[in-house]
Amino acid sequence: MRLSDEMLLRVEKPGRYVGGELNAVIKDKEGKTRFGFCFPDVYEVGMSHLGLQMLYFFINRREDAWCERAFMPWPDMLSVLREADIPLYALESGDGIRELDILGFTLQYEMCYTNVLAMLELGGLALRAAERGEDDPIVCAGGPCTTNPEPMAEFIDFFYIGDGEASLDAVLDAYRDNKTRGGKKADFLSAISGIDGIYVPAFYDVKYNDDDTIANFVSNRHEVGSRVKRAFLPRLGYFPERFLVPLVEAVHNRVTLELARGCSRGCRFCQAGYIYRPLRERGIDELLAQAEALLAATGHEEISLLALSACDHSGFGELVDRLLAVTEPKKVNLSLPSTRLDASFLSAVEKTQRVRKSSLTVAPEAGSQRMRDVIKKNLTEEGILAGITQAFEADFNKIKLYFMAGLPGEEEGDVQAIGTLAEKVVEVYYKMPYEKRKKPVAVSVSTACFVPKAFTPFQWVGQVSPEAFETRQREVKAGIRKKQITYRYHDAKTAYVEGVLARGDRRVGAAIEAAYRAGAMFDGWSEHFNYYTWLAAFESAGIDPDFYTQRERGENELLPWDFIDMGVSKEFLRREYERAMKGETSPDCRTSCADCEVACHA
Amino acid sequence: MHKVRIQFSKDGALKFIGHLDFLRVFQQALRRSGLPVAYSQGFNPHILLSFALPLPLGMASLHDYADLTLAESTDMENARVRLQEYAPLGLTVLTIWEADGRSAAAVTEAADYILTVKEAEITTVRQAVHELLAAKEYIIAKKTKGGIKDTDIRSDIIDIKSNGNVVTMRLSAGSGRFLNPMTVAAILLGRDTAACEMIRAELFKKEGEILKPLY
Ligand code: SF4
């Protein structure tokens, strides 16, 4: 630690910068591959992230490696570091991150990209991979945004695409072997370029057509194939026996169990539902053992259940019963995922006294049935209202309804239907007998702006413009008359920038750099996001944002992420898109296979 | 229900977390330890744990106190060893004993602080200590809810001793009267206290007119 007490006391939350958490791993650095897990957001956000806990202990289980952590410093600490000329350091050793061997950024959302650049620069590294030398660490990136890595390609030495546990050992072995052999960075990168999930951008060239679409994307080296296959773990295995327990309050202070990876529902707007296919569940005995071990190792007073659709776990009812048997005597709170108001969830709620019975979240995603069919959100209005009625009867009185605006094929009526549905929820409450209405009902409606993502059936569609989003927000607002309903909406301008970053190509990297140079940071935080900085950055980088957001892509266009084999086939995604446009749904994988070609039953 | 008092010291990374964070961290250690702690009644049960007096951010303490309620009696030395085993880095559990009666927070009336001054400052500080103790009153502008008010802090300065570069200050500290040690440090040093080194050494209760440590 190179910060004096005096420096630490100049910032708002010094506890973010001192390390020393329970279960933090301290090793002797001699002879270790030193890995820096870099989370491009504040400490409290990063420490609540299960992926960090998983990979931290996964890497540290190796005797030849030491994984440490670094987070994006909040602006107050940023000025302290810059003023004192102290580089961004790893929390475990206090060494500057430039002294480590590999820096691994996790890209959880596009709006953290400028923070990645900020952390590199704070660490004393050049932003562009090509400008870094043999003395600099290798910089890699993983996480869901690597499904379209191209906008960050210039800054990253290699991307890791897919399940972390699948290929990480092979990468670390290769690093160690290369170092023993006295190999250079380039030798290491070529050694790993054949491993599933590894994409080294420098080994590929992109050529563009006159209309700015991609003409071709080819490897410039013989030994590298033109396609990169995702790293894939057929069966979930490893799970940490301990979690780091932060000293300052994180967003979530709790044990998180990963019930499953993947989802069988295939909602067409949901990237996670496609890139993590097929559904892989953990067994109940395994989950229970993890719960007990982690409670003992952390002292947390809450457990949460994580999965894209946790209630879909094939043994959900039994799991909840058996978890409650563990948690109730320990006075531990079991936090149930509540976005799906179905029978299994409500019966679980009934069984737990320790669920705060006030607020419940439901995500119909679209207001009209027609739109719900387009996006394949398998919920009917009767189903939603019946579930909510049950929830009201079970003493809930606050309902949060989540929707998306700007969905493909959306018309005015579909937008108005959002308010109508919210009003019906209020009406359902007043249909209950008077003695059941003990507390006042409150319905909060929120609309997110739909941003089409890679590897979804909507990867070809044009995104709605910021002005059109704002019109829709006004329409929703106008449709809400009851005073029990409040309405919030996401910022349309943020969605516009996110759209460019989500489906951009390599040329977008210049705009990210320009935005960062002009002061953009913490773009995911509304108080820090500056739209005009970004518009100027697009302009200075010679980029037309509408080309990436509003343009409908042709069926045969080469998309920037087409070189990645994510399991699901492009033909399948196209079929789903065409079905969507006809308002047709398709089956849940649990009912019948829709042939996405991920070959889950091969 | 068995009320016990825990004497501990706190240092390292724990200096940099606020009171509520430290409460959570302490409760987590208790849960890990498996000691038979008692929980509050009601919808959201929590461990019955409270501290004598919050520490300012950045300050370590040599002797600090917490009250804890256990659901069943247990050997105190075993409990201490067990809690220490599960304690986070920087927390040292010194003793635990059965302590009925008023809470540590209710009885605490004074605290000792140890201020370490730079070699070059020793003479000025010694002079300032002398003047401060000789004065009948010492008026400062204190921020209160109703705005800035002139307040006499002299009566809250119980004693100050300076010995080389170590200054020990005994000041009012408790839910009734409380004098911020940084205020006094600023007076003695005649400068901004941002980089000053201070720890809290002990907490006191009153027995008759005599101040006694909380143990
Ligand atoms: S192969 Fe069939 S069942 Fe398996 S994930 Fe794809 S669509 Fe679902």
| Cα A195 from Cα A159, distance rounded (Å) | 11
Side-chain-side CA neighbours of A331 within 13 Å: the count stands at: 20
Write the pLDDT tens digit of every residue in A273-319: 999 999 999 999 999 999 999 999 999 999 999 998 888 899 998 99
Same domain, B92 and B124: no
DSSP state of A233: -
Query: Which phi and psi (to 5°) does residue A535 adopt?
Result: -60, -40
> Does residue A339 surpass a pLDDT of 70?
no
Confidence of residue A355 (pLDDT cuts 50, 70, 90): low
Q: Determine the atom of ligand 1 nearest the C-alpha atom of A264.
A: 8
Predicted ipTM? 0.90
In this structure, what token pair is assigned to residue B133?
A: 């103790």
Alpha-carbon separation of residue A591 from A264, A268, A309, B161 (angstroms):
9, 17, 16, 81
CB nearest B195 (choices: A6, A17, A247): A6
Q: Whose CA is nearest to atom 4 of ligand 1?
A: A600
Which residues of A, range 244-263, sit inside 8 Å of B by Cβ? 245, 247-249, 253
Q: Exposed e or buried b for every residue in A450-489, given b needs 16+ CB within 10 A? A: bbbbbbbbbbbbbbbbbebbbebbebbeebbeeebbebeb
The answer to the question of residue A48 being in a domain is yes
Give the best residue of A25, A83, A244, A248 to mutate against chain B (max B CB count within 10 A).
A248
A19 and chain B in contact, CB less than 8 A: yes
A390 and chain B in contact, CB less than 8 A: no
Bridge partners of residue B204, in order along the sequence: B110, B213
| Cα A348 from Cα A351, distance rounded (Å) | 5
CB nearest A6 (choices: B30, B43, B194): B194
Same domain, B120 and B158: yes
Write the pLDDT tens digit of every residue in B156-169: 999 999 999 999 99
The answer to the question of residue A534 being in a domain is no
Same domain, B209 and B130: yes
The minimum CA-CA distance between A519 and chain B, rounded to whole Å, is 29
* CATH code at position B205: 3.30.70
Same domain, B15 and B71: yes
Count, residues in chain B: 215
Last residue in a domain, options B101, B133, B151: B101
How many domains in chain A? 2
* Angle (nearest 5°) at CA A134 between A128 and A139: 45
Q: Contact A354/A328 with Cβ under 8 angstroms?
A: yes
Write the pLDDT tens digit of every residue in A3-32: 888 899 999 999 999 999 999 999 999 999
Q: Contact A538/A139 with Cβ under 8 angstroms?
A: no
B20 and chain A in contact, CB less than 8 A: yes
Residues of chain B neighbouring A297 (CB-CB closer than 8 A): 32
* CATH code at position A33: 3.40.50
The answer to the question of residue A366 being in a domain is yes
The answer to the question of residue A256 being in a domain is no
Same domain, B75 and B34: yes
The answer to the question of residue A318 being in a domain is no
A328 and chain B in contact, CB less than 8 A: no
What pLDDT is attached to residue A378?
84
B56 and chain A in contact, CB less than 8 A: no
* Distance from Cα A275 to the centre of ligand 1, integer Å: 12
What pLDDT is attached to residue A506?
97
Ligand 1 proximity of A593 Cβ (cutoff 6 Å): yes
What pLDDT is attached to residue A354?
54
Confidence of residue A360 (pLDDT cuts 50, 70, 90): confident
Inter-chain residue contact A20 with B13, CB threshold 8 Å: yes
Bridge partners of residue B142, in order along the sequence: B149
A82 and chain B in contact, CB less than 8 A: no
Inter-chain residue contact B86 with A299, CB threshold 8 Å: yes
Query: Which phi and psi (to 5°) does residue A367 adopt?
Result: -80, -35
CB nearest B24 (choices: A10, A249, A295): A249
Confidence of residue A149 (pLDDT cuts 50, 70, 90): very high
Same domain, B88 and B183: no
* Distance from Cα A597 to the centre of ligand 1, integer Å: 7
Inter-chain residue contact A18 with B16, CB threshold 8 Å: yes
* CATH code at position A439: 3.30.750.200
Average pLDDT over every residue of A577-591: 91
The minimum CA-CA distance between A248 and chain B, rounded to whole Å, is 6
* Angle (nearest 5°) at CA A144 between A141 and A149: 55
Contacts from B79-85 at CB under 8 Å and sequence distance 24+? B79/B4, B79/B35, B82/B33, B82/B34, B82/B35, B83/B6, B83/B29, B83/B30, B83/B33, B83/B35, B85/B33
* Distance from Cα A499 to the centre of ligand 1, integer Å: 28
| Cα A55 from Cα A66, distance rounded (Å) | 11
What pLDDT is attached to residue A215?
95
Last residue in a domain, options B71, B101, B131: B101
B11 and chain A in contact, CB less than 8 A: no
Same domain, B154 and B86: no
Q: Determine the atom of ligand 1 nearest the C-alpha atom of A597.
A: 1
* Distance from Cα A197 to the centre of ligand 1, integer Å: 21
Ligand 1 proximity of A277 Cβ (cutoff 6 Å): yes
Last residue in a domain, options B53, B70, B101: B101
Q: Determine the atom of ligand 1 nearest the C-alpha atom of A599.
A: 1
The minimum CA-CA distance between A104 and chain B, rounded to whole Å, is 25
* CATH code at position B90: 3.30.70.580
Is residue B34 left, alpha or beta, with left meaning phi > 0 and alpha meaning psi from -120 to 50?
A: left
CB nearest B28 (choices: A5, A17, A245): A245
Q: Please name the residues in contact with B91: beta carbons below 8 A apart, sequence gap of 6 or more.
A: B8, B9, B10, B14, B25, B26, B29
**What residue of B is the nearest CA neighbor of A22?**
B88
| Average pLDDT along chain B | 92
The minimum CA-CA distance between B18 and chain A, rounded to whole Å, is 8
Inter-chain residue contact B57 with A299, CB threshold 8 Å: no
Same domain, B116 and B202: yes
Inter-chain residue contact A331 with B45, CB threshold 8 Å: yes
Confidence of residue A352 (pLDDT cuts 50, 70, 90): low
Q: Determine the atom of ligand 1 nearest the C-alpha atom of A592.
A: 3
Average pLDDT over every residue of A413-434: 90
Same domain, B153 and B65: no
Same domain, B164 and B184: yes
How many domains in chain B? 2
Confidence of residue A72 (pLDDT cuts 50, 70, 90): very high
What pLDDT is attached to residue B201?
96
Expressed as residue numbers, the domain containing B65 is 2-101
SS3 string, A76-115, reads HHHHHHHHHCCCCECCCCCCEHHHCCEEEEECCCHHHHHH
Average pLDDT over every residue of B122-142: 90
pTM, rounded to two decimals: 0.94
Average pLDDT over every residue of A133-142: 97
Expressed as residue numbers, the domain containing A486 is 357-490
Same domain, B118 and B206: yes
**What residue of B is the nearest CA neighbor of A353?**
B43
Write the pLDDT tens digit of every residue in B64-111: 999 999 999 999 999 999 999 999 999 999 999 998 889 999 999 999
| Cα A492 from Cα A63, distance rounded (Å) | 48
Bridge partners of residue A104, in order along the sequence: A37, A140
Ligand 1 proximity of A589 Cβ (cutoff 6 Å): yes
Same domain, B6 and B79: yes
